[in-house]
Amino acid sequence: QVHVVESGGGLVQAGDSLRLSCEMSGRTFGTYAMAWFRQAPGKEREFVGAITRSGITTYYADSTKGRFTISRDNAKNTGYLQMSSLNPEDTAVYYCAASSLPGTNRHPSAYTYWGQGTQVTVSS
């Protein structure tokens, strides 16, 4: 059975930094590309960024490029989303997802396994 679990969310102030973690079990983590998505109340799920299986290549949405960094430690079966210069528009539930497809992909349909999400709230 596959489990994907996010952690690290919370309430922060504008300008703060926060790091989310995503741990996968039940599959060989290094054989899956990984992505982060987010969903704010009343809005559609939005692509945040993705990372290849090896961790060599990353791809970001324009809204997060330069502020967010995705990384992974395949030995620990864990991926990370480092967020900096947070602003209230970043408030959302953040989801981690894993895909057996190669490369990076911004479409949710490419991802097979999803976590339950972790809430990030940024106050002004």
Task: Supply the pLDDT for residue 31.
Answer: 94
Q: How far is it, in rounded angstroms, from Cα 23 to Cα 29?
A: 9
Q: What is the pLDDT of residues 80-90, one digit of tens each?
A: 999 999 999 99
Section 8-36 average pLDDT: 96
Residue pair 81/19 in contact by the 8 Å Cβ criterion: yes
Q: How far is it, in rounded angstroms, from Cα 57 to Cα 36?
A: 14
The pair of structure tokens assigned to 41 is 């109340």
Task: Give CA angle at 29 (28, 34), nearest 5°.
Answer: 145
pLDDT at residue 45 greater than cutoff 90 = yes
